[in-house]
Amino acid sequence: MKFLCLPGAYGSAKNFAVQLGPFAKHMEDRGLATFAFTQGEHEAEPPLGWENYFGSRPLYRFLVAEEGDAFEVVRRVRHIPRGLSPEDTLRLFRPDEKHKDKDGSDYDWSPFRRAIDRVFQTIEDDPEIDGLIGYSEGAMVAACICAEENRRWEESGSPRRIQFAIFFAGTPPLVKDGDRYIAKLADEHGPVIRIPTFHVFGSNDPLVYSSVALFNSCDQDTAQLYDHGLGHLVPRDADNVEQLGDTLSDVITRINSDAAVAAADAEETVTRTETTTVTTTVTETTTTITAEGDLADAAIAAADEIVPISSPDTEPGRPSLSLSEPGSTHGSTAGTSAGSINLDLNDVADVFSKVSSE
C-alpha cells in the first residue's frame, strides 16, 4: 500500500518525512507500505514564541492562515465544561453566523476548494497511491478527501481511489454541500467516511475530543482507535512504533486481501460479459442461417404452387428445381425433362422476395 502523507499546519513535506520517519521506516522494513509526501501551498510563519518549534523553513499550510492568535482554541479548551460529547464540544467553536466572513460577507470557499483539488490532483498523478496519512491540519484535509470520495461514490458511483486512511490527531471533515462546505458531525449526519480508518491520538492532547469526533464520523465497523498516551503529536518512540506496526500489519494485510478478491471478481465479471457477448453473436448468426434455410424451403414450396408438375422421374407433385444464369432460355420445356423447373437466378430472387413479403 502506498500512502500520501499530509503534514500539519506550519509543516512541510521535508519536515513531515522526518517527523514520521521512525514509523515510516518500520512499516517499509516490514514490507507493509511505501510513502509519498506533499504539503500545502500557503507559506506561513509560526506564531510568536513558536518560531523554532516546527522545524526548518519554509513552512506551509493547506488552509489560508488567519491573522490573530493561532492557539486561541487551545486556550479556550481549558474552560470547556466537562461531560460534553466530542460533537457538542466542537459546536462550542462554531461561529454564531455560519458561513460568514469576519466582515459579515459570505465566506469565500475557493481557497479551501483549491487546497482539496490540489491533493486530488496529487493522487491522480500517482496511480499507486491508495492510502492517506494525515497529521493535525493534514488529517483534516485527508478526512475531507475521504468524505468527498464517499460523496461522489454515493451520488454517481465514481470509484474511490483511497482504500485506507490513518489519522494522527485528526479533525472531522468539511463536506461539500452545494457551493459551501459544512461539518457533518456523526450525531447529526451519521458516518461520512465509509472506508477502513485508523485513528491515532493521545489522551493528553487538549484537542482529543476532535480526534474522537473524527472517529465517530467514520464507518464504525472498520474504524479503529489507538491511544499512544501522549499529546498532540506523531509518536516516534520504539514501543509505540512497534505496536502501531503490529496492529496495522493485520489491517493492511486484510485490506490488500479484500482488494485482491474484489479485483479477481471484477475480472471474472468482465470475462463473463465478453463470453456472453460472443455467445450472443454466435446465436444470432445461427438464427440467421436457420432463417435463410427456412426461406429456401419456402421458396421451393412457392415454386410447387406456381408450377405444379409431376413426372415419372420425380416425386409426385414435387418437381425438380434447377437454376440457370440470368438471361438464359427458360419457361419452356425445350432441353428440359418433364417434371423439372428451370428458373434463372432472377426468378429465385423474385420468389424469395415474394415469400419475404408474405
Query: Is it true that the peptide bond before 127 is cis, omega within 30 degrees of 0?
Result: no
Starting at the edge strand that comes first in sequence, how are the strands of the sheet with 164-168 ordered? 34-37, 2-6, 129-135, 164-168, 197-201, 223-227
Rounded CA gap, 310 and 183, in Å? 93
User: Could you tell me where the DSSP H helices lie in 78-202?
Assistant: 86-91, 110-125, 137-156, 186-189
Catalytic residue among 12, 136, 210, 217: 136
CA distances from 107 to 59, 62, 238 (A): 25, 17, 44
Is 332 annotated in the active site?
no
- The H or E element that residue 52 is part of is none
Q: Within 13 Å and on the Cβ side, how many CA atoms surround 161?
A: 20
Amino acid present at 338: A
Q: Which of 97, 87, 152, 157 is nearest to 120 (CA)?
A: 152
Catalytic site positions: 136
